[in-house]
Amino acid sequence: MELTKLKGITEKRAKELRKLGCDDAASLLRIFPRAYLDMTARIPVREVFHNDAALIACTLTGVEPVRYTGGKRKFVRAWLEQDGFVFSAVWFNMPYLAGRLKEGEYLFYGRVQNRYGQVSLVNPSFEPIERNKRLKGLVPVYPLKGVLTQRIVRDAVGSALAAVPVVSVIPEAMQRKYGLSSLAEAYRHVHCPSTHAEASAAAERIALEEYFVLLSAFKIVKGDRTEARVNRYTVTERQVARFEKRFPFAFTAGQQAAVRAVYDNLTSPFRMNRLLQGDVGSGKTAVALTAIDMAVESGYQAAYLSPTEALAAQNDAILRRTFPDRRVGYLSGSATAAEKRELKAALARGEIDILGGTHAILQGDVKFARLALCVCDEQHRFGVAQRNLLSEKGDSPDVLVMSATPIPRTLSLVFYGDLDVTTIPDKPKARQEISTSIIPERKYNDMLAYIARETAAGKQAYFVCAKIDDDEGEVTSVTELYDELRMRLPNVRFALLHGRMRERDKTEVMAAFKRGEYDCLVSTTVIEVGIDVPAATIMVIVNAERYGLSQLHQLRGRVGRGSDKSYCFLLVGADSETARARLDVLRSTTDGFALAEKDLELRGSGDFLGTRQSGKFLTDIKNLHYSTDVIFRAKRLVDEAFAQGLVTDGIRAVALRRYESLKDVVLN
């Protein structure tokens, strides 16, 4: 149903709603509230903490004429009163509000500034209480953009609730058997609940439905995959064994098993769509290289996709070293247009055996002559969308995706449900344990002195912090830290690396660090994935409390790659008990899988993957609800529905449409 068919939605409004990602009436129902306001709680404005957002019921007593600030911004000020306490609201650059504000009772919602008892609301949204009489109990707060107001979205969602039929695709017999509540009711309750308990029960019911659809889709897609394979691999086991001898080490049992799984799959009648997961440093690259060898030995081309330019450059070096007798191409972001053109032409003519690079490989004008295998390094940066794009580059190419973030089974069901999973459970021996410690403020100088000594002796260190610019006060920005460190340790050679630098510069800095031209790399989390610098033995993480355990574990995994003892120092900004308890888990555990499970328990899936990776669909889910329990319940329902032959064409159609829609999930 079109948006404009809904009561009260004009073309102009529909346009605004489309900006939220709502293309039709049904999708309006899927803007899930990010919070609920309790209209019955009358908060005394005096008691709200500085900078907290609050809903304030009060009386508007007067509006001042529009004035200009020093910086020539127009501003409007209104005077408010609550139980005899006088405060104000100010709006910048919204002079038209002056005409809209009349004396009377209002609800204001916004950030409260409390400067030594002088209270004001800055750019709050507001509604006359008259109109709010019909708002009872809890009112949803939607994630908004642009000129949309809460009331507009609330009304639009209300119209959609009345007009759009909501039907569960879970077979009715099963809904009855498991006493599932009505999905339509759940949608009503999630958008206008009368209690928090009702809202969360509704969210859980919707989540169950979502996961049911998604997991069904994966099951269908996976089932359909048992198509005959197109590319015939002629490589023999003996050739594979000979290839493994090129490495200066013997494969671990886990690596051997993974190679076996890949070989069996590539020489089976079925196409490979496999996730290779293993903790940081478990040696996934060697397995991927062996798979690539299987393809090129069989006369095909292979692609090696990396999520960042720095990693792509590193992998390019590894490819050239490992395959000295093959033609290796690198689609580098820093290549000139002419160079790229030449490379693409050679690739299309089949004169390149292995192509490495970043997302650039996915572009439409990159054509292979006989692509049989795609390797995606550090998969969690790619989505289903990219995977599908890759698959279109060849004739049903086999796909091997690698994830260094060990993902708990529940999540891998959701994110990689369409893939077969191989796990490398072990790590090469002889690797030093990394000593992890939390550094208290008073030990900071000692730590710097230690780093100065170690770097003078030829060791290297990383400093990682979260933000580029210091806009949040408590977060030390990377540039600030860089400047501070250079001043404090003038004899140490520092390099700076962050996401806003040009790709070419980033790659260059990484390479120089690897060559030992710098002692310390001060960086944002761009170094998070896959970077391998054996001489780096110290990892300092600033504001460690702001990261998930898995991410910290990943960062920690950047050191301890050589034969020397390595250290991870965690600096905690806001010193809270919970932050400490969390970091203690990191200190005591080196098992990435255990940390991932713990993370999930502590933070939920959205944060677990970081917003950058979550994409649109997952953001929906995150706003909605996440629990391991719901995913497992959905999984059981799906298995039962399939086993009992209850999966109708209708369910298939809905599920596949959902899967297709994941193609639109564009990351970053």
Site residues for Mg ion per CB under 5 A:
530
Task: Indicate the SS3 state at residue 85.
Answer: strand
CB 152 within 8 A of CB 13: yes
Does 284 help bind ligand ADP (rule: CB under 6 A)? yes
Phi, psi of 164 (to 5 degrees): -95, 120
Does 255 help bind ligand ADP (rule: CB under 6 A)? yes
3-class secondary structure per residue, 457-518: CCCEEEEECCECCCCCCCCCEHHHHHHHHHHHCCCCCEEEECCCCCHHHHHHHHHHHHCCCC
CB 53 within 8 A of CB 125: no
For 415-437, b/e burial (b = at least 16 CB within 10 A) is bbbbbebbbbbebeeeeeebebe
Q: Residue 451 binds which entry of ligand ADP, Mg ion, none, with Cβ cut-offs from 5 to 8 Å by kind?
A: none
277 vs 386, beta carbon nearer Mg ion: 277
Task: Indicate the SS3 state at residue 660.
Answer: helix
Does 278 help bind ligand ADP (rule: CB under 6 A)? yes
**Distance between CA atoms of residues 371 and 390, nearest Å:** 10
Eight-class DSSP state of 270: B
Stretch that binds ligand ADP, among 80-88, 282-290, 507-515, 648-656 (CB under 6 A): 282-290
Q: Residue 249 binds which entry of Mg ion, ligand ADP, none, with Cβ cut-offs from 5 to 8 Å by kind?
A: ligand ADP
Q: What Rg, from alpha-carbon coordinates, does the chain have?
A: 28
Does 428 help bind ligand ADP (rule: CB under 6 A)? yes
Does 306 help bind ligand ADP (rule: CB under 6 A)? no
**Distance between CA atoms of residues 586 and 544, nearest Å:** 11
The sign one gets for the Cα dihedral 580, 519, 466, 448 is positive
154 vs 553, beta carbon nearer ligand ADP: 553
- For residue 510, give the nearest of 458, 558, 546, 570 by alpha carbon: 558
**What percent of the chain is helix, strand and coil (3-state, nearest 5)?**
45, 20, 35
Phi, psi of 9 (to 5 degrees): -110, 110
55 vs 375, beta carbon nearer ligand ADP: 375
Q: How far is the CB of 320 from Mg ion (least distance, A)?
A: 17
Q: How far is the CB of 286 from ligand ADP (least distance, A)?
A: 5
281 vs 606, beta carbon nearer ligand ADP: 281
248 vs 473, beta carbon nearer ligand ADP: 248
Q: Residue 255 binds which entry of ligand ADP, Mg ion, none, with Cβ cut-offs from 5 to 8 Å by kind?
A: ligand ADP
- For residue 665, give the nearest of 21, 170, 72 by alpha carbon: 21
CA geometry: angle at 312 spanning 423 and 352, to 5°?
A: 100
Does 285 help bind ligand ADP (rule: CB under 6 A)? yes
For 580-606, b/e burial (b = at least 16 CB within 10 A) is eebbeebeeebebbbbbbbbbeebbbb
Binding residues for ligand ADP restricted to 4-63, rule: CB under 6 A: none
CB 305 within 8 A of CB 390: yes
- The residue whose Cβ lies closest to Mg ion is 530
The sign one gets for the Cα dihedral 338, 342, 343, 345 is positive
Stretch that binds ligand ADP, among 161-169, 278-286, 433-441, 467-475 (CB under 6 A): 278-286
Q: How far is the CB of 569 from ligand ADP (least distance, A)?
A: 21
**Distance between CA atoms of residues 158 and 414, nearest Å:** 30
Does 128 help bind ligand ADP (rule: CB under 6 A)? no
Give the alpha-carbon dihedral of 239, 243, 249, 252, to 10 degrees. -50
Stretch that binds ligand ADP, among 200-208, 280-288, 463-471, 518-526 (CB under 6 A): 280-288
Q: How far is the CB of 432 from ligand ADP (least distance, A)?
A: 12
228 vs 430, beta carbon nearer ligand ADP: 430
Burial grade of 262 (CB within 10 A; 0-12, 13-18, 19 or more): buried
Total residues in contact with ligand ADP, by rule CB under 6 A: 17
**Distance between CA atoms of residues 13 and 465, nearest Å:** 41
- The residue whose Cβ lies closest to ligand ADP is 283
Q: Tell me which of 9, 37, 286, 413 binds ligand ADP, using CB under 6 A.
A: 286
Does 273 help bind ligand ADP (rule: CB under 6 A)? no
Q: How far is the CB of 525 from ligand ADP (least distance, A)?
A: 16
Residue 165, token pair as written in the block: 């039929």
Does 425 help bind ligand ADP (rule: CB under 6 A)? no
Q: How far is the CB of 318 from ligand ADP (least distance, A)?
A: 8
Q: How far is the CB of 295 from ligand ADP (least distance, A)?
A: 18
Q: How far is the CB of 404 from Mg ion (least distance, A)?
A: 5
Stretch that binds ligand ADP, among 277-285, 384-392, 446-454, 590-598 (CB under 6 A): 277-285
Q: Residue 280 binds which entry of ligand ADP, Mg ion, none, with Cβ cut-offs from 5 to 8 Å by kind?
A: ligand ADP
Does 252 help bind ligand ADP (rule: CB under 6 A)? yes
Binding residues for ligand ADP restricted to 378-407, rule: CB under 6 A: 404
Question: Which string of x and - marks every residue 559-598 that binds ligand ADP (by CB under 6 A)?
Answer: --x-------------------------------------
CB 29 within 8 A of CB 161: yes
60 vs 286, beta carbon nearer Mg ion: 286
78 vs 404, beta carbon nearer ligand ADP: 404
Question: Which string of x and - marks every residue 606-635 that binds ligand ADP (by CB under 6 A)?
Answer: ------------------------------
381 vs 561, beta carbon nearer ligand ADP: 561
Does 249 help bind ligand ADP (rule: CB under 6 A)? yes
203 vs 280, beta carbon nearer Mg ion: 280
Question: Which string of x and - marks every residue 525-554 that binds ligand ADP (by CB under 6 A)?
Answer: -----x-x----------------------
Question: Which string of x and - marks every residue 484-523 that binds ligand ADP (by CB under 6 A)?
Answer: ----------------------------------------
82 vs 423, beta carbon nearer ligand ADP: 423
285 vs 543, beta carbon nearer Mg ion: 285
Q: Which strands, in side-by-side order, build the sheet including 301-305? A: 328-331, 354-357, 301-305, 371-376, 398-403, 273-278, 420-424
Residues 6+ apart with CB under 8 A from 198: 189
**Distance between CA atoms of residues 102 and 526, nearest Å:** 51
Q: Residue 523 binds which entry of ligand ADP, Mg ion, none, with Cβ cut-offs from 5 to 8 Å by kind?
A: none
What do you get for the CA distance between the two ends of the chain, in Å? 30
Q: How far is the CB of 584 from Mg ion (least distance, A)?
A: 27
Site residues for ligand ADP per CB under 6 A: 249, 251-252, 255, 278, 280-286, 404, 428, 530, 532, 561
